[in-house]
Structure 1
Amino acid sequence: MTLNWQCIVVDCDDPRQLAAWWAELLGWRLTHAGDDESVLEPAEGSPQDGVSPDMLFVKVPEGKAAKNRLHMDLRPDDQAAEVARAEALGATRVDLGRPDDASWVTMADPEGNEFCILRAFTPEELATLE
């Protein structure tokens, strides 16, 4: 038997609006937009297309009440630029007890779902990934 990771599900109040926000942040495509659920997929032809799990945004009746038990870590080429861009799109920085020397920035999307923007890989780290 085999399991394949299809998608990550994000509970939310407004699937269409939150999916559009994440599409802008990630540069992904909205492949289904509905009042009860919306779907994002990586940009067609991108290195992530067919590899990264989709994102499914599902309408739930209750609002977010506590810290996420699962969140996404995003790896940028330029951390400061991507944090600023996320903030310009409506993300906010959140303090969840991050150490002073942390190499990531914890943020929340417009509905309060946490995600982290990590530091960029160094050229040496990138060379080991190739």
Structure 2
Amino acid sequence: MTSRFTELSVDCHDPELLAAFWCAVLDFEVIDRGEDKVEIGSWEPTAEEVRARQMPPTLVFIQVPEGKSAKNRLHLDVSPIDGSTDDEVTRLLGLGATKVDVGQGSGRSWVVMADPEGNEFCVLRTLAPSD
């Protein structure tokens, strides 16, 4: 008996705002909407495909009344695939992200950022092919 990692849920105030932000970051699409939630992903999961093999999880943004109160205990890491880390940080700033200091210090190979609702995430080294 086993389980699959099928989705990651993110509590937020504005599911539409965060879904749009993360769709732009990850090149995902909205795959489901409900009264207080939006689900995005790179594919639309079916039970058969999930049972057959591990697939990339979806992100589900769920509206909650309370705000974020502390540093996230779980966060996403993203890696640029077609540009430098610096170029990706600039792009994400243009989408509404901010740089944040969570005590990481200077000289790190990653950049800590926050989405429009303050959820931390890291931009790691680029995976773009070198010339």
Question: CA distance change for structure 1 residues 43 and 79 in 2, over 3 Å: closer, same or farther?
Answer: farther
- Superposed structure 1 runs of 4+ greater than 3 Å apart: 121-124
> Which structure ranks higher in relative contact order (CA pairs < 8 Å, sequence separation ≥ 6)?
2
Once the two structures are superposed, the pairs formed by residues 115-126 of structure 1 within 5 Å of their partners are: 115-121=121-127
Give, in angstroms, the shift of residue 43 of structure 1: 5.6
Normalised TM-score (structure 2): 0.83
Aligned with 2:68: secondary structure? coil
Question: CA distance change for structure 1 residues 66 and 30 in 2, over 3 Å: closer, same or farther?
Answer: same
For residues 26 and 108 of structure 1, the distance between their equivalents in structure 2, rounded to whole angstroms, comes to 15
- Of 24-33 and 84-93, more deviation after overlay is shown by 24-33
Aligned to 2:39: 39
For residues 43 and 105 of structure 1, the distance between their equivalents in structure 2, rounded to whole angstroms, comes to 28
Once the two structures are superposed, the pairs formed by residues 42-121 of structure 1 within 5 Å of their partners are: 42=42, 51-77=55-81, 78-121=84-127
For residues 55 and 37 of structure 1, the distance between their equivalents in structure 2, rounded to whole angstroms, comes to 10
Aligned with 1:38: secondary structure? strand
Aligned to 1:30: 30
Residues 27 and 43 in structure 1, CA contact (< 8 A), matched pair in contact too? no
RMSD, aligned α-carbons: 1.9
- Of 19-28 and 103-112, more deviation after overlay is shown by 19-28
Aligned with 1:16: secondary structure? helix
Aligned with 1:103: secondary structure? coil
For residues 94 and 128 of structure 2, the distance between their equivalents in structure 1, rounded to whole angstroms, comes to 26
Q: 1:2-53 CA deviation, whole Å, 9 max, x = no partner?
A: 0100101110001122111111111100112344000001167xxxxx7210
Where does the alignment leave 5 or more consecutive residues of structure 1 unmatched?
Answer: 45-49, 125-130
Normalised TM-score (structure 1): 0.84
Aligned to 1:13: 13
> Identity rate of aligned residues, in percent?
47
Where does the alignment leave 5 or more consecutive residues of structure 2 unmatched?
Answer: 45-53
Give, in angstroms, the shift of residue 121 of structure 1: 4.1
For residues 24 and 122 of structure 1, the distance between their equivalents in structure 2, rounded to whole angstroms, comes to 18
For residues 16 and 35 of structure 1, the distance between their equivalents in structure 2, rounded to whole angstroms, comes to 11
